[in-house]
Amino acid sequence: MGPHHPSTHGVFRVDLDLDGEIIVATRPEIGNLHRGMEKLAEHRTYHQIIPLTDRLHYVASFAQNEGFCEAVEKLMGIEVPPRARFIRSMGHEMCRIANHLLWLGIHIMDFGAITFQQICFREREYMMDLWEMLCGARLTHSYCRIGGVAKDIPDGFEEKMRAAIA
């Protein structure tokens, strides 16, 4: 199954063994769309690598930022303050909601449900607006930092978040 075109979201390739129409075994191909991030990171500091992680999967860049920062924190024995952990958890939920709406919108469009796709994208905009308010970017956030987050939640963010999830 695949490979998909590199401009497609969530590019992957899986070798499948079939028995008729039943999948009996799968083998994912790791590195199907290799971007050379490891090579790019070789001559950078840990903090300089954070923006590179945005590009691993730009529609879920926060998850990539946080995963990298958490790995460095664990290796270095750095304790993240409780408020930063809370903000990171909130960021993961915002990322999850936005990505599920994107996934659903893209895939439902394949069935011809253009109106529903537009509704998904409209609802996703609430999360994109929140990301822009939180860190100044809609896709490539670079919001996590080793040991915490780039900055605290801005004034008015809580009210906007409550309205978005209501």
The mean per-residue pLDDT over the stretch 149-156 comes to 96
Please tell me the predicted confidence (pLDDT) of residue 5: 58
CA distance 60 to 48: 19
What pLDDT, on the 0 to 100 scale, is given for residue 115? 94
Burial category of 110 from C-beta neighbours within 10 Å (exposed 0-12, middle 13-18, buried 19 and up): exposed
pLDDT digits (tens, 9 = 90+) for 52-81: 998 888 788 899 999 999 999 999 999 999
The confidence score (pLDDT) of residue 124 equals 94
Read off the pTM: 0.76
pLDDT digits (tens, 9 = 90+) for 79-126: 999 999 999 999 999 999 999 999 899 888 888 899 999 999 999 999
Mean pLDDT of 22-44: 80
pLDDT at residue number 131 = 94
- Split at pLDDT 50, 70, 90, the class of 31 is low
